[in-house]
C-alpha cells in the first residue's frame, strides 16, 4: 500500500487555511409570528426653513423632524408631524427650532395625522441642555393633538420630543469610553446609508472562551431613555470596584449602542432607511443593520469559541418594564437567572416601580433571537418615556451591579 505520509502536511495546511477563512453567520429561524421585513418606501423629512405669519421654524440639524408649519390665525400655528411610513407604532417624534421676527406669544398645535401625542415636550436654548417644558404651558387640544403656549423671540428656541441624542453624541460617548483600558471601540459594519454601526468590546485579558453578554440599543430612534439607561449600565461595568474588575476578567461584553443611526439622524419615528422596524428583522436579516450586527455576534462566538449568556436590548415605552421570554417553553443556558436578577434589582431599588411581562417566543425580536440563536437569556429592557433622569441612573447602575454579582458567583 502506498503511503500518504508526504501529503499529510499539505492537507493539514489546507484545512487550517479553510478554517482561517471560515465565516460565521447568524442562522435564520422560523418564528411563530413571521414579519415581512422587505424594503418599504419612506418619507424623509426635509431639512428646510418655514415661515408663516412672522414665525419661523427649521429642521437644519441631525435628528430634526417637522413636515410643515401652518398658520391658523394671528396667534395659532400648526406644527405638522407625519411618520416616515404607515402603518407604524405610535411614536410621533418631533424636533425643530422656532423663532419670531419680534417677541410675541403664540399657540403651537402639535398636529399628528397618524398617531396621538406621546412625548412630553422638551425645550432648549442651545440644542445641548434640555428640560421639560413648564406644564402650565402644555395641554391636550383633543384626544390626539397637543397645544403649547410659547413665548417666541428672535432668539432660537429648540423643541423636541426628547433630548435628541444623535449619532454624533453617541460617537463622542464611544470615544470617551474607549479611553478605558478595558474597552476597544470599532465598527461592526455600516447602515443602509453608510453610517457606522459602532461596537464597544469590554473585557480584560484574553477573549478566547470567555462567556459573552451582549447589549443592544436604539433600534427605534425616539427611545432615548433606553439609551440613557445603557450609558449608566456601561459606566457601572467599567467602575473600579472589585465586583466590576472581577467581572471584566471573567466575562466579555459587546455593546452596540446605535443600531439604527439612519433613523436617528433622519428624525424617524420607528423605522430604518429601508422603512422597516429593525426589531422585527431578527429571523431573515433582510436589513443591513440587523444582518451585520447578528453576524458579528455569531462571528465572535465562533472565532473565540464563546457562549452568549445574556442579551439585553435597551428600549423605551410608556412605563418601566422588562419583556422576557417564558422559560418554560425553551429553557436558557442560565435557567432562573432572570428571576434572580429582577429580584435583586427590586431589593436594590425599594419602592421603584417596574414590572416583568413574560411571553412565549413569537415575532422575530431580539429577546427571542438571543434565546433561539444561542440559548441565552434574552430580555427587552424598557425605560419609561418620562422616567426621571435620577431614576434612570439608579436603575441602569443597579441592574448592571446585580448582574455582575450574580455572574461572579456562578
Query: Looking at residues 362-383, what average pLDDT do you find?
Result: 98
Question: How would DSSP label each residue in 334-401?
Answer: STTHHHHHHHHHHHHSTT---EEEEE-S-SS-HHHHHHHHHS-EEEEEEEETT--HHHHHHHHHHHHH
- Distance (Å, whole) CA 183 – CA 177: 7
**Taking a C-beta distance cutoff of 8 angstroms, is the pair 221, 260 a contact?**
yes
Query: Looking at residues 5-34, what average pLDDT do you find?
Result: 63
pLDDT confidence of residue 24: 87
Question: How would DSSP label each residue in 142-206?
Answer: SSS-EEEEEEE-SS-EEEESS----HHHHHHHHHHHTTSTTEEEEEEEE-TTS-EEEEEEE-SS-
Please provide the CATH number assigned to the domain covering 49-160.
2.60.40.3120
- Region label for 218, one of left (φ > 0), alpha (ψ between -120 and 50) or beta (otherwise): left
Q: Where in the chain is the domain with CATH 2.60.40.3120?
A: 49-160
Tell me the per-residue pLDDT of 184-205, one tens digit each, with 9 for 90 and over. Answer: 999 999 999 999 999 999 999 9
Please list, residue by residue across 248-264, b when 16 or more beta carbons sit within 10 angstroms of its beta carbon and e when fewer do: bebbbbbbbbbbbbbbb
pLDDT confidence of residue 329: 82
Full-model pTM: 0.94
Q: Which CATH superfamily is domain 167-408 in?
A: Zn peptidases (3.40.630.10)
Tell me the per-residue pLDDT of 206-215, one tens digit each, with 9 for 90 and over. Answer: 999 999 999 9
Q: Which residue has the cell 439609551?
A: 227
**Taking a C-beta distance cutoff of 8 angstroms, is the pair 328, 358 a contact?**
no
Q: Where in the chain is the domain with CATH 3.40.630.10?
A: 167-408
**Taking a C-beta distance cutoff of 8 angstroms, is the pair 106, 75 a contact?**
yes
Amino acid at each position: 500500500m502506498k503511503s500518504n505520509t508526504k501529503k499529510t502536511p499539505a492537507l493539514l495546511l489546507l484545512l487550517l487555511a479553510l478554517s482561517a477563512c471560515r465565516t460565521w453567520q447568524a442562522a435564520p429561524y422560523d418564528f411563530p409570528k413571521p414579519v415581512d421585513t422587505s424594503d418599504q418606501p419612506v418619507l424623509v423629512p426635509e431639512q428646510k426653513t418655514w415661515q408663516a405669519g412672522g414665525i419661523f421654524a427649521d429642521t437644519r440639524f441631525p435628528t430634526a423632524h417637522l413636515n410643515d408649519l401652518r398658520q391658523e390665525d394671528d396667534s395659532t400655528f400648526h406644527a405638522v408631524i407625519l411618520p416616515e411610513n404607515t402603518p407604524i407604532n405610535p411614536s410621533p417624534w418631533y424636533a425643530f427650532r422656532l423663532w419670531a421676527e419680534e417677541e410675541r406669544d403664540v399657540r403651537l398645535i402639535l398636529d399628528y395625522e397618524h398617531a396621538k401625542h406621546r412625548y412630553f415636550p422638551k425645550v432648549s436654548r442651545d440644542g445641548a441642555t434640555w428640560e421639560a417644558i413648564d406644564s402650565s404651558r402644555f395641554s391636550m387640544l383633543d384626544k390626539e393633538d397637543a397645544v403649547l403656549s410659547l413665548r417666541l423671540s428672535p432668539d432660537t428656541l429648540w423643541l423636541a420630543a426628547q433630548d435628541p441624542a444623535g449619532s454624533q453624541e453617541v460617537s463622542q460617548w464611544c470615544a470617551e469610553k474607549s479611553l478605558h483600558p478595558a474597552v476597544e471601540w470599532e465598527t461592526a459594519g455600516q447602515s443602509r446609508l453608510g453610517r457606522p454601526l459602532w461596537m464597544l468590546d469590554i473585557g480584560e485579558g484574553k477573549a478566547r472562551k470567555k462567556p459573552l453578554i451582549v447589549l443592544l440599543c436604539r433600534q427605534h430612534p425616539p427611545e432615548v431613555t433606553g439609551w440613557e439607561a445603557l450609558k449608566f449600565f456601561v459606566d457601572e461595568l467599567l467602575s473600579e470596584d472589585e465586583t466590576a474588575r472581577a467581572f471584566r476578567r471573567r466575562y466579555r461584553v459587546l455593546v452596540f449602542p446605535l443600531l439604527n443611526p439612519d433613523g436617528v439622524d433622519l428624525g424617524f419615528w420607528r423605522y430604518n432607511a429601508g422603512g422597516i422596524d429593525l426589531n422585527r428583522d431578527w429571523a431573515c436579516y433582510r436589513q443591513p443593520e440587523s444582518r451585520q450586527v447578528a453576524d458579528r455576534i455569531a462571528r465572535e462566538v465562533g472565532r473565540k469559541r464563546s457562549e452568549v449568556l445574556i442579551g439585553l436590548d435597551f428600549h423605551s415605552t410608556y412605563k418601566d418594564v422588562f419583556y422576557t421570554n417564558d422559560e418554560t417553553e425553551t429553557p436558557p443556558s442560565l435557567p432562573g437567572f432572570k428571576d434572580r436578577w429582577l429580584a435583586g434589582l427590586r431589593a436594590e431599588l425599594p419602592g421603584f416601580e417596574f414590572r416583568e411581562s413574560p411571553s412565549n417566543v413569537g415575532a422575530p425580536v431580539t429577546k427571542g433571537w438571543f434565546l433561539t440563536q444561542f440559548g441565552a437569556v434574552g430580555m427587552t429592557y424598557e425605560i419609561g418615556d418620562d422616567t426621571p433622569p435620577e431614576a434612570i441612573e439608579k436603575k441602569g447602575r443597579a441592574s448592571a451591579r446585580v448582574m455582575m454579582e450574580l455572574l461572579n458567583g456562578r
